[in-house]
Amino acid sequence: MHPFHTCSSVSMCLSFIFLALILLSPSTSSATDDLSKNIIEALQKVIFFMESEYKNINLDGAFGFRILQVQMEDIVKKWGPVLGCRPQHLLIECLLKQLKLLLEKTESALRRNDPQYYQEFEPILRSNFWILPHMWNQTEPTLVYHVLKDQECFHEETSDKCIGLLLGTWRNGGVPCMVTDTCKNIMTQPGCPDYSLSHQLLYIRIWKLKGCHHILEDGWSEAAASLAAQDFESVFCSNMMQGNLKIEVNGFPPHLRDLFMENILLCGLAGFSDFYKSHWLKLILSWQDPDTGCFRMPETTKSVNGKNPFEDLTQMLRRVKRRDKKLKDGCSSHTTAMAVGTLGGFLHYYQTSQWKRDRHRRFQ
């Protein structure tokens, strides 16, 4: 029997988790092992939170957990054939089993609770939609925009429509890889800030994964052609790195932490390893609520006009962040999803880098 197949149930998985955490003592582990251990502990807590909230997690929340599944599956695929019962990988295998069961229940709830929105974005919830990077790049400061627009370039509804046209979910039986002039212009427009910028990257990621290259390249504007020559993903992620560095300089304001993690998640998926800074990881781990395991919405003071504080915050930020949903204890579905996908990205980067080093040593 393959050693990873010993985790046959969720309860057995939890036993392995506690045992392995004991075995992974600081005295016998490397710095990378310690960071991976901390990530796994955080993921255990947030998956436990998901068990109690899976009926209430929205599609954007499910997206983050699905990305985590893809990341963990790739770790298991790489390490499984060459290692026995290494504690960290038993842990990852066991958490993966637990996560897949929860995602099945989450998707069933989404189909019932929000069928239209689910149908529009169901393709990106498939684990086989996403391809993780196998080679890593670095962002380039020379690609940072000299001037940023002072507000978002488009609204969430526009972003949803453009992504739906790419996915082919804009109507029943819709053809994928449809790109209107409006979508082409706004999704390749230079100088967009914040969530507009991260959604431009998401759009280009989906464009690449769907194989829509020939569609978008026709009829580019001069500005878009200039960006394309330097590669959209490099330009967008270089500017997202600049955005994250500004957030760091400003002391990581709570209302910008969601955007900060979204940038790491998406640029990590695009293959930019310089987003995986260990001091950023430690900060993100510190943002997790120690009691619930989730990641909370920013705290706001009560509005003088009696409006919900979260609604005031959403209006104040004027973001195109995808739909959020307030969960129990002030937890945020979107922020928790971004944290989960980001932590999974760090774990995948550390584990696959270690796998490459070990593989190189074995074949020397």
Helix, coil or strand: residue 334: helix
Chain mean pLDDT for the chain: 84
CA-nearest of 89, 162, 68, 166 to 123 is: 166
Q: What is the pLDDT of residue 5?
A: 45
> Dihedrals φ, ψ of 200, to 5°?
-65, -45
Report pLDDT for 78: 83
pLDDT, position 307? 44
In angstroms, how far apart are the furthest CA atoms of the chain?
A: 69
Instruction: Give yes or no for residue 27 having a pLDDT over 90.
Output: no
Position with higher pLDDT, 143 vs 21: 143
**Does 301 score more than 80 pLDDT?**
no
Please tell me whether the overall predicted TM-score, pTM, comes out greater than 0.85 for this model: yes
Q: What is the pLDDT of residue 358?
A: 63
Mean pLDDT, to the nearest integer, of 264-281? 97
Q: Rounded to the nearest 5°, which phi and psi values hold at 97?
A: -60, -45
DSSP bridge pairs for 137: 272
pLDDT of residue 170: 84
Residues 303-361 have pLDDT tens digits of 334 444 344 444 434 444 556 788 998 999 999 999 999 999 999 999 988 866 665 55
Q: Reply yes or no on whether the pLDDT at 302 is more than 80.
A: no
Q: What is the pLDDT of residues 60-92, one digit of tens each?
A: 999 999 999 999 999 998 876 655 556 778 889
pLDDT at 247 over 70: yes
Residue 285 burial by CB count (10 A; 0-12/13-18/19+): exposed, middle or buried?
middle
Q: Which of 17-31, 90-104, 345-359 has the lowest mean pLDDT?
A: 17-31
What's the N-to-C CA distance of the chain in angstroms?
Answer: 29
Q: pLDDT tens across 217-243, in order?
A: 666 666 665 566 568 999 999 999 999
The residue with tokens 């973001």 is 319
Q: How many CB atoms lie within 10 A of CB 142?
A: 7
DSSP 8-state symbol, 277: -
Q: What percent of the chain has pLDDT over 90?
A: 62
pLDDT band at 171 (very low <50, low <70, confident <90, very high): confident
| Overall average pLDDT of the 252-277 stretch | 97
For 26, counting Cβ atoms within 10 Å of its Cβ (0-12 exposed, 13-18 middle, 19+ buried), the class is exposed
- Written as one string, the DSSP assignment of 268-312 is HHTTBGGG--HHHHHHHHHHS-TTT-S-BPPP-PPPTT---HHHH
Q: Which of 6-15, 42-51, 127-136, 200-209 has the lowest mean pLDDT?
A: 6-15
- 331, 347 Cβ separation under 8 angstroms: no
Q: What is the pLDDT of residues 130-142, one digit of tens each?
A: 999 989 999 999 9
Kindly tell me if the per-residue pLDDT of 188 is higher than 60: yes
Higher pLDDT: 184 or 317? It is: 184
**Whether residue 156 has pLDDT greater than 70:** yes
